[in-house]
Structure 1
Amino acid sequence: LGGSSAGAAAMPSLPNLAIATPDAAAPQLAEAAQGDRAAKQAFMAQASNQRTVSGERLVAPASPNIVQAGSIIPAALITGIRSDLPGQITAQVTANVYDSPTGRILLIPQGARLIGEYDSEIAAGQTRVLLAWDRLIMPDGRSIVLERQPGVDGAGFAGLQDRVNQHWGNLLKAAAVSTLLGVGAELGADSEDDLTRALRRGSQDTINQTGQQIVRRQLNVQPTLTIRPGHPLRVVLTRDLVLEPVGGAR
């Protein structure tokens, strides 16, 4: 009984810790709420724009043979995408694109090639690959620089989405290995002498750290996004392109 009383007296006071935690968090929550209110009040207190007439004026197109910003170039991937490594991509225009002012002059024919690249830096939970298009090559070999025009899907959402591999299997394997290492480190006979017990405890710490590192390494592995060849896409022009007619007007 005396040993039990001494062990009970040595136990930390858990109720005090449980009570102190909400009290310590309360000022932080109140400060965050006050900051949110201050930001909203500052937004409402911003000075209004007194100018009611724009100083800009309409300008004529730079050329009759122009595809203006906001136009869409429909295409499909020729090369696939796998986000594990950075790389270049190629797509083919799948429909004719005509001039913006009249819609009668063919400027980008079906079959033209698009050259670009994709963003291989994938964040946790990300399911879409960002695209940027750098060059447009006509069937006759002429080309124009596109200056990193964005790629979107058929609905206009940024990037493309196809297959996503979150590597859950590898993470579960790492967790299982970590658990087995921890269980093995805990096993020990009650009749161990002091030297054996000290050695076991030292190895137990090392094994636990190794298991944690294995799991942490798998948590840091970014998802793998795959876009298969043939996937449809759109190139959204953010600036005007002055081109040359291809064939006659329709």
Structure 2
Amino acid sequence: MTSCIVTQDVYSADGRTLLVERGSEATGEQRTALMQGQARIFVLWSRIDMPNGVTIPLDSPGSDSLGASGLEAYVDNHFWDRFGGAIMVSLIGDFGQAASNRSLGSGNNQIQFSNTSSAGQSLADDTLKNTVDIPPTAYSNQGSALNIFVARDVDFRSVYDLEHQQ
């Protein structure tokens, strides 16, 4: 769930009737999981709760200040969380292998570390399997301006008792 506060009064198309008061709270939810390479948060705004107790159903998407679908976001791909452990285990295994190769030197003394290196590889595989599926996280700046693209007509007849004037 997410919410935002309406920062200015919203009037009817002719500018004579106040429809949404400043200070009203819009409530919505993120609709899709963030995909790799995506830098937008897609929000479906479900309703606006006005200070006078009126609730306006919306079911309308959010957009940025230019009208593009979704809200601009900073994306944390968790690179080091996802791959750091596997890289570290692999490097430790490589250093162990390099040390054993260097200690061989010249002579017939041979030391085999095949069990240790295969265990290290298995540990790296397990670490990678456990962390590679961490999904990216998107952050939008608090207080940033956004728009709600009202996708359908909203009927205010039950709220406002208006009369048609000639």
Q: Could you state the TM-score of these two structures normalised by the residue count of structure 2? A: 0.77
Equivalent pairs, count:
153
Aligned-partner Cα distance in 1 for 2:81–2:116: 25
Larger Rg: 1
Q: Which residue of the partner structure matches residue 85 of structure 2?
A: 174
Alignment check: 8 A CA contact 1:181 1:211 kept? no
Aligned-partner Cα distance in 2 for 1:229–1:136: 19
Kindly report structure 1 stretches of 4+ aligned residues shifted beyond 6 Å: none
Higher helix share: 1
Q: Which residue of the partner structure matches residue 36 of structure 1?
A: none
Q: Aligned match of 2:63 in 141, 146, 152?
A: 152
**Secondary structure at 1:242 match in 2:** coil
RMSD: 2.6
Aligned-partner Cα distance in 2 for 1:162–1:113: 21
1:92 maps onto 2:92 in alignment: no
Q: Which residue of the partner structure matches residue 222 of structure 1?
A: 135
1:203 maps onto 2:116 in alignment: yes
Q: Give the Å deviation of 1:162.
A: 3.4
Aligned-partner Cα distance in 2 for 1:121–1:182: 36
Q: Could you state the TM-score of these two structures normalised by the residue count of structure 1? A: 0.53
The answer for unaligned runs of 5 or more in structure 1 is 1-87
Aligned-partner Cα distance in 2 for 1:144–1:110: 14
1:111 maps onto 2:23 in alignment: yes
Percent identical: 25
The answer for unaligned runs of 5 or more in structure 2 is none
Q: Which residue of the partner structure matches residue 20 of structure 1?
A: none
**Secondary structure at 2:71 match in 1:** coil
**Secondary structure at 1:232 match in 2:** coil
